[in-house]
A and B are shown apart, each in its own frame.
Chain A
Amino acid sequence: MDYAERLQNVSVLGAAGKMGSGILLLTAIEMADLSLKPENKGKHYVLNAMDVSGEALPGLMRYLKAQVLKAAEKKIVFLREAYAQRKDLITNEQIINQYIEDVLFMVRPTTLLEATYQSHIIFEAIKEDPELKAKIFRQINENSTVTPWFCTNTSSIPIGELDKKAGLDGRLLGVHFYNPPAVQKLVEIIKADHTQPDLVEFANTFAKNLRKIVVPSADFAGFIGNGHFMRDALHGIHEAEALSEKYPFTQAVCMIDKITRDFLIRPMGIFQLIDYVGIDVCSYIMSVMNPYLKDEDLHSSLLHKMIDLGVKGGQNADGSQKDGFLKYEKGRPVAIFDVNKKEYEPVSSLQHACDVELGDAPSSWKPWKALVGDRDKDAFLKGYFAEMKSMDNLGSKLAVKYARRSKEIGLKLVEDKVAFSNEDVNTVLLTGFFHAYGPINEYV
């Protein structure tokens, strides 16, 4: 069965979720484009959009329609050629509408797992729960009328074990998209010891056709992305906890968020990133990873405390940010949660004290956006960090320490053979986390 045949019947599990909907969109477009090729004319394509939440499915279809419209507008040159034989379609608008119809009519929203039993490919993006995933894989595998391949979007669960638990005989591969899948360029591909090579080849072709950057990761809990992020986040949490012995808790959070965002020139501070991913999700991923780690305790009681208080971050259905460590207005942090008083304190009342305690960033500082667009980033960063290392203020010291820890985490991933090279670690941080520079560098 070749690539195009495999993609004639596909199911996405958890399709209405943030990750699932993105994977569904990308898959739908890839399938539609295949169906438009002359050699595939007349073939039938089915994409099951399965989600346990029936109420979420109409919203999913609306999202899909809006996104396919955007994609179609961008690729109108290709579409005009693809529909060249359709004499009734003359204007760009007619062609775009036809394409949307062709994509949407292929997608079947469903709440029933039975719908997936004829699929050759199952993309899974459900809750990060190994037992649940294994149970569903097993159920599909046992009832399927074909021999399906499974691609899981897990960001932390070891693939080999999951395969074994579900009895898939090497038909499971980790295909980890980054949030949001339609935008983020990175896909981590995680092959277990017994994963079928054909499946790996399929996933590589698929990701390439989606114009993604593929980074292979070894099958070790957390892989490269979370292997770095969880430890990096934990370092930030520990630093804030240490500062909170001297400063109020909210100010400590404010300081560490500022160091990670401004001093380190990252797209957002570490606490904002934890909120973005979800405090509960971070905590859960740590708990999935922790049993596999030696000499290391990947666990934060602060995260548990937040979850117990019902402050979890994450995103609303419309993509807007829920409040977590920080409170957001129009996507911008405006207040910081005081875990002792259980209320938010405005950033405006904290900022000044925070700035005074940290001191200035190096004088050559520039915002993250400008750094990303800088053609000679390397020279800039060398000078920037050299200046930072020569500075005596608290902010610079903590930032250098942070950058060194980040580098150490990266190097450890390579040493432990989770990542195959320093470059792979850097690619994940550059493309999956939008960092302007990789953690493994010579700056610190």
Chain B
Amino acid sequence: MIAGYNTISMGTGRKEFHPKKPRPDLEDYIKEAGQAVLKMIGGAEKVDETVFGNFIASRFNQQGHIAGFAPYIDEGLRYKPSVRVEGACGSGALALTTAMRSILAETAEVALVVGVEVQNSVKAVYGADILAAAGWAKERKTGHAYFFPGKFSDRAKAYAEKFGPEKPRDAMARWYENAIENARLCPTAQEYHNTTKDLIACGIQKPNPKGFVDSLNFFDCSKVSDGASAIAVVSEEGLKRCGIDKKDAVEILGFGQAEEDITKPPAEPTRLSTTKVAVQKAFESAGITKEQVGTVECHDCFTIAGIMATEAIGFAEYGKGADFVLEGHTSRKGSVPFNTTGGLIGWGHPTGATGVHQAVTLWEQLTGKAAGAQIDIQPEKPYGLSINMGGDDISVISIVYKKAE
């Protein structure tokens, strides 16, 4: 992968965001991110096909048929193949694996991948209805007003019941603090302007079931975001075509993909079982172990999902994820820094773009382009891992990255 680009993650938290003032729209984000990548790789003529990741512009923006925006990015993409894939919040990584399959099938040498979502078009109370489409529609009626926060609130509750209430709450607050501290180092992050002094005091706040959900507060949640991320997935041949040096590329060592039945509740709400399978597959496919992973971009749609991810990957034992976080392992100075530009909570969560954003972040970190947010990558732990999740642990894509040699 080469030439990653993130737009700003726009929404509450950004100084330039005002709910009643005009903002860039879906096509603006697509164009900005797509053109930025094309510029880096030497123009549209280098591209064989375009893959879009988008969850649900059809309802947020009354816009279907996203594939048709490829030539809008650049006329050079006219008449070239373009496709849009959807796997709820996992759409971004699904777009990446779709592009990778094209490369592996040798039907393309260079694929442009663009993830995009514009969600601030409606108030959160209606956005919840739209995002609920990532669950089983027949469950909407019995679900919470804020459907997905409700789902993960149930998980947080189950987790607290099983492993004691205090530590997970403390760890969730700590997760939030790490996310914001990382976001402050990344100018495109939605929480880049956050100046709150006592982040733990925010994260520790008692949930308010009357106004929101039982076991999560607002700080436990990812952001409502507008934005796009784009990157080029290329073969070795494609890399040459684009004239880009290997040191500016990351190699994909392997990926794992797993699907759970959308109509079934989680068999064990305290575990991210599908995530675990996808990560194992990714490790097997790449031929590496967790000990070799230097940094992770995980799908922390809610703080509790971040904690459970540390267990699903195997860094922490089952039930010990909270300790792992509280001991500082996931912070940017820890043994395995997670979400180094803020993740879904700090950087933002333009749903269909998130998987691509994760890839861009890892590409930046592994090639030394993360500027103020740069972490040290130790030679014995050269791998980056991403986990992108659609729905409540339903569609999960995990990818292993390494700086190209």
Contact = CB atoms under 8 A, between A and B. Distances in A.
A80 B213 CA distance: 13
B125 A96 contact: yes
- 5 closest A-B pairs (Cβ-Cβ)? A91-B129, A76-B145, A80-B145, A73-B125, A77-B145
Interface of A: 73-74, 76-80, 87, 89-93, 96
B211 interface: yes
B247 interface: no
B210 interface: yes
Interface in B179-224: 209-212
B140 interface: yes
A125 to B, nearest CB: 30
Contacts of A90: 140-141
Contacts of B129: 91-93
Given A77-B144, A92-B128, A92-B129, 17 more contacts: A73-B123, A74-B211, A76-B125, A76-B145, A77-B145, A77-B209, A77-B210, A77-B212, A78-B210, A87-B141, A90-B141, A91-B129, A91-B140, A92-B125, A92-B126, A93-B126, A96-B125
> Interface centre among A78, A80, A87, by most B CB within 10 Å?
A80
5 contacts: A73-B125, A77-B145, A77-B146, A77-B212, A92-B129
Contacts of B132: 91
A91 B140 CA distance: 7
Contacts of A89: 141
A74 B140 CA distance: 19
A80 B144 contact: yes
Nearest to B143: A80
Nearest to A78: B210
Nearest to A83: B141
Nearest to B147: A92
A92 B141 CA distance: 9
Contacts of A78: 210
Interface in B287-322: none
A372 to B, nearest CB: 19
Interface in B98-149: 123, 125-126, 128-129, 132, 140-141, 144-146
Task: Please classify how large the interface on chain B is, using the bins under 10, 10 to 19, 20 to 34, 35 or more.
Answer: 10 to 19
B376 to A, nearest CB: 40
Nearest to B126: A93
Interface in B234-275: none
Nearest to B130: A91
Contacts of B209: 77
Nearest to A79: B145
Nearest to A76: B145
A77 B210 CA distance: 7
Contacts of B128: 92
Contacts of B125: 73, 76, 92, 96
Nearest to B129: A91
Contacts of A77: 144-146, 209-212
Contact of A92 (B145, B210, B211, B212): B145
Contacts of A87: 141
> Interface centre among B123, B141, B144, by most A CB within 10 Å?
B141
Contacts of A74: 211
Nearest to B141: A90
B131 to A, nearest CB: 11
A89 B140 CA distance: 10
A87 B141 CA distance: 8
A90 B130 CA distance: 12
Contacts of B211: 74, 77
> Interface centre among B128, B129, B210, B211, by most A CB within 10 Å?
B129
Contacts of B212: 77
A78 B145 CA distance: 9
Contacts of B145: 76-77, 79-80, 92
Interface string B342-357: 0000000000000000
Contacts of B210: 77-78
> Interface centre among A78, A87, A91, by most B CB within 10 Å?
A91
Nearest to A96: B125
A89 B128 CA distance: 15
> Interface centre among A73, A76, A90, A92, by most B CB within 10 Å?
A92
Contacts of B126: 92-93
Nearest to A88: B141
A405 B285 CA distance: 81
A43 B126 CA distance: 31
Nearest to B213: A77
B135 to A, nearest CB: 12
A76 B123 CA distance: 12
A2 to B, nearest CB: 25
A365 B85 CA distance: 58
B20 to A, nearest CB: 14
A87 B128 CA distance: 19
A80 B129 CA distance: 12
Contacts of A79: 145
A73 B123 CA distance: 9
Contacts of A91: 129, 132, 140
Nearest to B124: A73
B392 to A, nearest CB: 18
A93 B123 CA distance: 11
B95 to A, nearest CB: 28
B211 to A, nearest CB: 6
Contacts of B123: 73
A74 to B, nearest CB: 8
A80 B212 CA distance: 12
Nearest to B132: A91
A31 B125 CA distance: 24
